Amino acid sequence: MRIRITWDFGEVFADLDDTPTARAVLDALPIRSTADTWGEEVYLGARLAVQSEDDARQVVEPGTVCYWVEGASLALPFGPTPISEAGESRLISPCNVLGRLEGNPRALGRIRAGHLLTVSRA
């Protein structure tokens, strides 16, 4: 399962695992939302009817595609956040892990709060 995340001047692709939340994301596509940022994390609103999964994690590798249940948002960390320790990517709370970005996740660093993002099938 592959998705494409685009904004006015860029795009990234991601491979999603076969999880309940990843299937819910695919069913909701396309998703259009404005970006917010928190340290080196981009997140965008995506209301889904899902629960926190048993393997939800707070610390993930940069480039991990996540769903933040409490914030109803896709979370795309590409580096440290304000609560990270020793350079890790630490999310605000445990999130469902959906998959992984292809290529260098630092490409997300060009996104600023307020940019319109579109998530679609690739």
The amino acid that residue 72 corresponds to is A
Q: Per DSSP, what are the bridge partners of residue 21? A: none
pLDDT of the residue at 87: 85
Domain of 110 in residue numbering reads as 2-121
**Can you say how many angstroms the Cα of residue 69 is from the centroid of all Cα atoms in its chain?**
12
What's the predicted TM-score (pTM) here?
0.95
Q: Using 50, 70 and 90 to split pLDDT, how confident is the model at 84?
A: very high
- Work out the average pLDDT over 74-97: 96
Residue 90 has pLDDT above 90, yes or no: yes
Count structural domains, the chain: 1
pLDDT of the residue at 117: 98
Q: What is the CATH number of the domain that holds 62?
A: 2.40.100.20
| CA distance linking residue 48 with residue 29, whole number of Å | 11
